[in-house]
Amino acid sequence: MPSASNPYLFLALMLAAGLVFCLGMLGLARLWAVWVSPPKPGPTKGAAYECGLAPQGDVRIRFQSQYYLYAIIFLVFDVETVFLLPFAVSFTGLAPGAFVAIMVFLLLLVEGLVWAWGKGLLRWR
């Protein structure tokens, strides 16, 4: 067995096989395009897809970042929920180091929440 001689040999073999498979497929597609199915690029075909309408402006535009506050709030509550549940389950059996670590983490998130509160984001208008 090759794996007995070197445990990482099969990884190298798998990498090589994966590379050959992917590049082989791409090469076959390329040969198919050359021999059988000629590529037909065009101005409409290459244009940006805007549901069939004539594309307007450039594709690479700057997106407004007005919603970053909601993204931050979402991050605070979402990540908090993910970590708080396992924290609560294993609360009694935690080592002091782990307890301090999760408290530091919570402090960071609460800091974000306090910042958002102070900015008036939690007020429903």
- Contacting residues toward another protein, per CB under 8 A: 36-38, 40-45, 47, 49, 51-54
- CB 59 to another protein: min, Å: 14
- CB 33 to another protein: min, Å: 10
- CB 57 to another protein: min, Å: 17
Q: Which is nearer to another protein, 54 or 95 (CB)?
A: 54
Compute CA 109 distance to the chain's CA centroid, rounded to the nearest angstrom.
21
- CB 112 to another protein: min, Å: 36
Place of tokens 């798998």: 14
Q: Which is nearer to another protein, 58 or 88 (CB)?
A: 58
Place of tokens 């605070």: 76
Largest CA distance in the chain: 70
CA separation for the pair 109, 104 (Å, rounded): 9
CA separation for the pair 120, 125 (Å, rounded): 10
Place of tokens 């590529």: 39
Q: Which is nearer to another protein, 53 or 59 (CB)?
A: 53
CA separation for the pair 103, 114 (Å, rounded): 16
Q: Which is nearer to another protein, 41 or 96 (CB)?
A: 41
